[in-house]
Amino acid sequence: MHAHQQKAMTTSTALRFSRLLAAVASGLVASQPLALSAQVRMTVPPQSERTALRGATIHTVTNGVIQNGTIIFEAGKIVSVGANLAIPAGTKIVDVTGKHIYPGLIDAYSTVGISEIGAVDMSNDVNEVGDFNPNVRTDVAVNAESRHIGTSRSQGVLTTLTTPGGGLISGMSSAMALEGWSWEEMSLESAAALNVNWPDPSQRGGGRGGRGGGGGPEGNRATYEERVQQLKNYFAEARAYRDAVAAGEQVRTDARYMAMIPALDRKIPVVVSASGTSQINDAITWAKQENLRLIIRGGDDAIHVAARLKAENIPVILTSTMDAPNRAHEGYDAAYSRAAQLHKAGVKFAISGGSGSLYTDRLPYEAGVAVAFGLPEEEAIKAVTINAAEFMGLADRLGSLEVGKQATFLITTGTPIDMTSDILQAYIQGRELDMNDIQKHFFEKYMEKVRQKLKIIS
């Protein structure tokens, strides 16, 4: 499991209830792990009363910073935000003077909920069999009891674009709120984006060198050109199916082609995994021919295609800023400075935690490293909030603190992308979250062991 700075243990609903149960049991089960303790965090009910957080520095992201501000939310949505607000009678008031409020962070490329333990196959449900699975929707496979949900929330990540993998067309990313008893309760957008893995150019013409980004088992036998043609053929078949359905023709129902229609109609974006220069250029050319809303994911060489990306308004999801260089001639800071270079070039981008469920909790640090290597802090915050929301069609609900949007935000001691800051409390759709997680649970457990041992010694 990825090691990171442990935060101070907060008193939570689940922990208080666990201790209460232990007391009721009169010590009989005090030395045995309670069933509730295994869950670690407790799902909380929907917001039931209008609440005002008063006195904080509010970072709206889209409308500047409000000093000594107040944010009022009701029924899961923000109803007012500003300074010197009149608070309606009957509102629950929480004093957060000296604290900061930020929108919840959004990981634009994650496997939280569909991947638990890398070495245990049965706990991973990321890749489907076959090359073409556009009808796969990840939200139905999300495990609402995943321990990665708690650790991600403790680091400020409240929304993920949980994404499948494998094949040429992997399926749909699902926008998931990291709170709820079930995937149905957590799902914000079942089909937020269609995912394509661009073929490996190293298979070009039978084996010329290049940098890969997808393919599947058939990619080991087919050439690059053949794999690209397979992708083009599939989109052509899906388009023909769409047109036949629109024309009222009698066609056999095909769930895979049906799933492609929103992407073909530009209602949702197509996220293409592409890292090398030739991959990115070829993907752009293909997307223009197909008239798709393209997003590049990976983008290791995006800076070399920056002029084209900017001219054609194509955003990039950077999958890591904390990677080592991929080539011998690259500087040590090739990945660290990539975001700053794209910003300077005018390319729109979001930053992700690196796709794995183990790494979503490090999303704020991915953004923080980009700041250390030249990206303005304001742009780094946008890269993990409003930019990700805009790319995935969620900006009407998430990504900034505005009236009418979901009350999904953080109360912090400072900027959430600095590891010296603490996430004190988080809200998702107005729900005041239980901030416990498995790492805090074990920290407290073994600190208690130390305390007991020290007491015996003394």
How far is it, in rounded angstroms, from Cα 66 to Cα 58? 5
| CA-angle at 385, arms to 381 and 388, nearest 5° | 120
Residues across the chain: 458
Q: What is the pLDDT of residue 119?
A: 83
Tell whether 65 is covered by a domain.
no
User: Per 3-state DSSP, what percentage of the chain is helix, strand, and coil (rounded to 5)?
Assistant: 35, 20, 45
Q: What is the pLDDT of residue 263?
A: 98
How far is it, in rounded angstroms, from Cα 158 to Cα 177? 6
Distance of CA 321 to the CA centre of its chain: 15
Query: Considering only CA atoms, which of 69, 74, 35 is closest in space to residue 55?
Result: 69
Tell whether 275 is covered by a domain.
yes
- Shared-domain flag, residues 448 and 342: no
Q: What is the pLDDT of residue 358?
A: 75
- Shared-domain flag, residues 152 and 256: yes
- Shared-domain flag, residues 272 and 366: yes
Number of domains in the chain: 2
For residue 83 the two structure tokens come to 């300074």
Specify the DSSP element, H or E, that contains 172: strand 169-177
How far is it, in rounded angstroms, from Cα 325 to Cα 333? 7
Tell whether 70 is covered by a domain.
no
CA distances (Å), origin 291, targets 287, 294, 353, 357: 6, 9, 29, 32
pTM here?
Answer: 0.87
DSSP symbol at 405: S
- Shared-domain flag, residues 173 and 268: yes
Tell whether 204 is covered by a domain.
no
Helix, strand or coil, per DSSP, at residue 369: helix
127: CATH: 3.20.20.140
How far is it, in rounded angstroms, from Cα 39 to Cα 144? 11
- Shared-domain flag, residues 25 and 118: no
- Shared-domain flag, residues 268 and 369: yes
Tell whether 29 is covered by a domain.
yes
Tell whether 257 is covered by a domain.
yes
DSSP symbol at 115: B
Q: What is the pLDDT of residue 3?
A: 35
Q: What is the pLDDT of residue 357?
A: 65
Helix, strand or coil, per DSSP, at residue 21: helix
| CA-angle at 49, arms to 46 and 53, nearest 5° | 100
Q: What is the pLDDT of residue 7?
A: 35
- Shared-domain flag, residues 124 and 36: no
**269 near 295, Cβ under 8 Å?**
yes
Domain final residue, candidates 398, 420, 446: 398
CA distances (Å), origin 74, targets 79, 251, 427: 7, 47, 12
Tell whether 8 is covered by a domain.
no
Q: What is the pLDDT along the chain (458 residues), one digit of tens a residue?
A: 333 333 333 333 344 344 434 433 433 333 333 333 446 788 999 999 999 999 999 999 999 999 999 999 999 999 999 999 999 999 999 999 999 999 999 999 999 999 988 888 888 889 989 999 999 999 999 999 999 999 999 999 999 999 999 999 999 999 999 999 999 999 999 999 999 999 988 877 654 434 444 444 444 578 999 999 999 999 999 999 999 999 999 889 999 999 999 999 999 999 999 999 999 999 999 999 999 999 999 999 999 999 999 999 999 999 989 988 888 899 999 999 999 999 999 999 999 987 666 789 999 999 999 999 999 999 999 999 999 999 999 999 999 999 999 999 999 999 999 999 999 999 999 999 999 999 999 999 999 999 999 888 87
- Shared-domain flag, residues 354 and 440: no
Structural domain span for residue 189 = 105-198+251-398
Helix, strand or coil, per DSSP, at residue 159: strand
For residue 82 the two structure tokens come to 């500003």
Q: Name the maximum alpha-carbon separation found in the chain.
A: 85
CA distances (Å), origin 412, targets 57, 347, 419: 10, 29, 11
Q: What is the pLDDT of residue 57?
A: 98
- Shared-domain flag, residues 360 and 452: no
Rg of the chain (C-alpha set): 23
Q: Which residues contact 203 (CB under 8 A, 6 or more apart)?
A: 215, 219, 220, 222, 223, 224, 227
**439 near 155, Cβ under 8 Å?**
no
- Shared-domain flag, residues 291 and 387: yes
